[in-house]
Amino acid sequence: MSPSAPPLRLALAQSSGTPGDVRATLGALDALAARAAASGAHLLVAPELFLSGYAPDASAPPGPGAAPAAPLAALAVDRAEAQAALGAIGRRHGLAVLAGYPERAGSATYNSALLVGADGAPLAAYRKTHLYGAHERAVFTPGDRALVQAELRGVRLGVLICYDVEFPENVRAHAEAGTEVLLVPTALLAPYDFVARSLVPVRAFESQLYVAYVNRTGPEGGFDFVGLSCLAAPDGTTPARAGAGPELLFAEADPALLAASRAANPYLADRRTDLYR
């Protein structure tokens, strides 16, 4: 990213969609994309497992004659199906879109995120490598590729999912590989709001990159998501921060600020890798 390049405008979609109803959730994502495009965003980022819900089988309220909600694995789709759905939204509104979904691949199910461009073409596909808790481990196979990147408007993007960002090695690997804006769809639960408030901004500062951290919100199937989505900047600031409820948050990743911060905070250059490699 050239320091003289214009900022990359992001729209962070803090929402839980309609867990268990992929069609309704895609409709909500389409509406969010329309709002994002109208506000000049280049990229819309939705949370972890946005298309399906995090615990859809436990989220639908029971009622007389109500059909049982589908379990998470039953909502898994092939990557090509996810690409077609997200790509149609990207093309319709002229912006890139990233969203989390359960990916079916042979006999395995992955907790995945897919990034498509404004032309609908796939740009990056990532499978969560660090699964969190018994709920995720019961459904998903961990991914085995740590570093996934893409280029958008001259910016090098990277992708992690939720728990992945809590391991400093993951973020540092992206910094070493040249990632400038790290996209992190997440499903952060109460009472761990300190991750969004403190840990994520520290990750951005210590590895000198932007982190776009986009959370689910509200109760779902016994889980309670804290919101607090943010864009954390490499200079230690948080230019944009959501509250606890649904919100479409706008923020800009500024190449001039990134260059200035890396010059003032040369962590990557000053490391003594001969001591701790």
Catalytic residues: 48, 128, 162
Rounded to an integer, what distance in angstroms lies between the CA atom of residue 109 and that of residue 100?
13
Q: If you search the block for the tokens 């490598």, which residue do you land on?
A: 129
**Is the CB of residue 228 less than 8 Å from the CB of residue 245?**
no
Rounded to an integer, what distance in angstroms lies between the CA atom of residue 101 and that of residue 62?
24
Rounded to an integer, what distance in angstroms lies between the CA atom of residue 31 and that of residue 41?
14
Q: For residue 173, what are the CA distances in angstroms to 141, 208, 237?
A: 22, 12, 22
Rounded to an integer, what distance in angstroms lies between the CA atom of residue 47 and that of residue 14?
7
CB neighbours of 156 closer than 8 A, spacing ≥ 6?
Answer: 1, 149, 150, 178, 179, 180, 181
Rounded to an integer, what distance in angstroms lies between the CA atom of residue 82 and that of residue 134?
25
CB neighbours of 171 closer than 8 A, spacing ≥ 6?
Answer: 160, 165, 182, 203, 206, 207, 209, 211
CB atoms within 10 A of CB 227: 25
Rounded to an integer, what distance in angstroms lies between the CA atom of residue 135 and that of residue 250?
31
CA dihedral 37, 40, 43, 47 (to 10 degrees): -70
Q: For residue 145, what are the CA distances in angstroms to 56, 95, 127, 129, 142?
A: 27, 26, 7, 7, 9
